[in-house]
Amino acid sequence: MNIHVLALLLVTLVWGATFPVLKIATAQLSGVEVSALRFMLAAVCMAPFALRLPRHTWRDGGLLGALVLVSYVAQAFGLEYISSNRSAFLTSLNVLMVPLLGMAFGARPTLVMLLAAALACAGIGLMSWDGGANLLADAATVFGALAYALYVIVLSQRAARHQPRQLAAAQIVWMAGLACVWMLLDAWGTDKLQTLPSRLNAEILWGLAYLGVVATAGMLFLQAWAQRAVAADKAALIYAMEPVFAALFAWMWLAEALTLRAALGGAMVVCAVVLSEWRPAPAEVAVQS
């Protein structure tokens, strides 16, 4: 595996830990509030890189930031009503959405990549599907997966046009601004803003720091750098490792079940990622005597 693939695997490891953190945070905060606060923290971290950005970086960063914001808010909303394992499974459907949507943009995924994507989704389903359906929360989470699939495609198309830190900074500033507006509109006519400080405790504040500084600012930079050299369908497949790590962290932190079935599903996802790295050996040319 090359360094770009390893960087994306690190991204999935960090993101896997966000599921239990989000589960804890959404016990007191809404999905919009969690997203706005994490993005504001991330924007503070990336502010030095947001100075004097080219216009095209602001434009592409705005599109990418809006897609990520919708994905994150939808995921955080869903976690208010469903388990982190179920959320991880539904979110992982973007693994199949990316190559299918990519066809509409002119991409031609290989048969190996499609098989690997299907194997990954099957493994995640085996690992994470636990019942506990909630129609609205499930629909929001799937919609978030669709938004993220579009994000992965657009990022792979446009990342090479920008310096990674500048593109990450532009995304995060847009995300912070849009999320703050969303939070204000959501709180209109209620006492949500007045009660916000009282709903924050040390555990939630540490969680928000992790979400904003590490999982958002740090990982969006790594994505912008790594996806310059990784195709969208392959990147989406690597991101399928996220629910594997999420299930592990949920078992460690939230005491959610990690059964033999879950372990088998996780092994299928790992096999799918390995399969995506497989390249058939070039056929030998026969030499006539």
Q: Which residue has the tokens 């509109």?
A: 185
Cβ contact 237:11 at 8 Å: no
Rounded average pLDDT over 33-37: 89
User: What is the Cα–Cα distance from 138 to 91, expressed in whole angstroms?
Assistant: 10
Q: Does the pLDDT value for residue 179 go beyond 50?
A: yes
- Give residue 261's pLDDT: 73
The pair of structure tokens assigned to 151 is: 């994000």
- Give residue 283's pLDDT: 46
Task: Single out the residue of 171, 145, 144, 150 nearest to residue 225, CA to CA.
Answer: 171
Sign of CA dihedral 126, 131, 132, 135: positive
Single pTM value for the model: 0.74
Cβ contact 134:79 at 8 Å: no
Q: Does the pLDDT value for residue 205 go beyond 70?
A: yes
Q: Does the pLDDT value for residue 288 go beyond 50?
A: no
Q: Does the pLDDT value for residue 284 go beyond 60?
A: no
- Give residue 173's pLDDT: 93
- Give residue 69's pLDDT: 82
Task: Single out the residue of 28, 24, 23, 77 nearest to residue 196, CA to CA.
Answer: 28
Rounded average pLDDT over 138-161: 88
The pair of structure tokens assigned to 180 is: 């703050």
User: What is the Cα–Cα distance from 145 to 164, expressed in whole angstroms?
Assistant: 23
- Between 251 and 187, name the one with better pLDDT: 187
**Confidence category of residue 40, pLDDT binned at 50, 70, 90:** very high
Query: Which of 9-23, 73-87, 118-132, 270-284: highest mean pLDDT?
Result: 9-23
- Give residue 258's pLDDT: 61
Question: What are residue 92's phi and psi, to 5 degrees?
Answer: -70, -10
> How far is the CA of 28 from the CAs of 25, 32, 199, 206, in angstroms?
6, 12, 6, 14
Q: Does the pLDDT value for residue 254 go beyond 70?
A: no
Give the tens place of pLDDT for each residue, 77-121: 887 788 766 777 777 777 777 877 777 766 676 777 778 777 877
Question: What are residue 168's phi and psi, to 5 degrees?
Answer: -60, -45
